[in-house]
Amino acid sequence: MSTERAVPSRARRARGFLLGVLALPALVAGCRQDMQDQPRYDADQASAFFADGRGNRPRVPGTVVHGSFSDNRAYHEGKENGQPVAVPPVELSAEVLARGRERYDIYCSPCHDRTGAGNGMIVQRGLRRPSSFHSQRLREAPAGYFFDVITNGFGIMLSYRAQVPVDDRWAIISYIRALQLSQNATIGDVPEGQRAALGQGAALGQGAALGQGAAGH
């Protein structure tokens, strides 16, 4: 029995090579896979695969947008170790107070009135009157308590979570602190350098210093 194989001639090998080269474009074209031909769902399309029958998949619980995670609980929840924070965890500035005043006047004053006494227009028209922010209890309440009330509501007061973003909540609370001080300040709260000006204004009967600031209310 012979094991010899016929060695292909040069001509035959060349022909084979040529055929291969010619067939290449056809092969490549056959491999092309269009993205639009992939199995996929359009938005809101029904699905026979998922148990709830929807192509849209719900967000995995606990998902946060990349780069937006913050575990600063004092800032986001107004609490530290489960306790309400005493003072707003944001830097205080004239801008923050101005923003807080603007937001307070928009979102809180209709009921709490512009001074925080709790006699806003909606209360004058019959809504239950809220406690004055100048009561000793609310003057001593920690900033985190106010944050909780704005975020989650309190009694018949609805939550303002959706209307007032976290930064604005702290601005409003900082402004409420200023309102509280405005009704309960003593001469000791005025910086020493400015006490003389205060006395002068009072003596001259002009609305100098503090008086002018309150004129807007």
Q: Which of 75, 85, 96, 112 binds ligand HEC (CB under 6 A)?
A: 112
Query: Which amino acid is located at 149 in the chain?
Result: V
Of residues 77 and 208, the one with the C-beta less far from ligand HEC: 77
In the complex, minimum distance from the CB of residue 77 to ligand HEC, in angstroms, rounded to a whole number? 16
Residue 151 is a binding residue for ligand HEC (CB under 6 A): no
CA distances from 44 to 34, 50, 54, 61, 86 (A): 23, 13, 7, 20, 47
Total residues binding ligand HEC (CB under 6 A): 20
Cβ proximity to ligand HEC: between 128 and 217 the closer is 128
Binding mask 121-150 for ligand HEC (x = CB under 6 A): -x----xx-xx--------------x--xx
Q: Label residue 82 left, alpha or beta by phi (over 0 means left) and psi (-120 to 50 means alpha).
A: left
Of 74 and 118, nearer to ligand HEC (C-beta) is 118
> Smallest distance from the beta carbon of 164 to ligand HEC, in angstroms?
5
- Per the listing, tokens 């003596």 go with 203
83, 85, 86, 92: CA torsion to nearest 10: 180
Q: Which value, to the nearest 10 degrees, does the dihedral of the CA atoms of residues 87, 88, 90, 95 take?
A: -110
Window 39 to 98, contacts with ligand HEC (CB under 6 A): none
Give least dist CB 153 to ligand HEC, A: 8
* CA atoms of 171 and 176, how far apart (whole Å): 9
Greatest alpha-carbon span in the chain: 133
Smallest separation (angstroms) from ligand HEC to the CB of 217: 17
From residue 153 to residue 172, what is the string marking binding to ligand HEC with x (rule CB under 6 A)? -xxxx--x---x-------x
Cβ count near 90 (within 10 Å): 17
Residues near ligand HEC, by CB under 6 A: 107-108, 110-112, 122, 127-128, 130-131, 146, 149-150, 154-157, 160, 164, 172
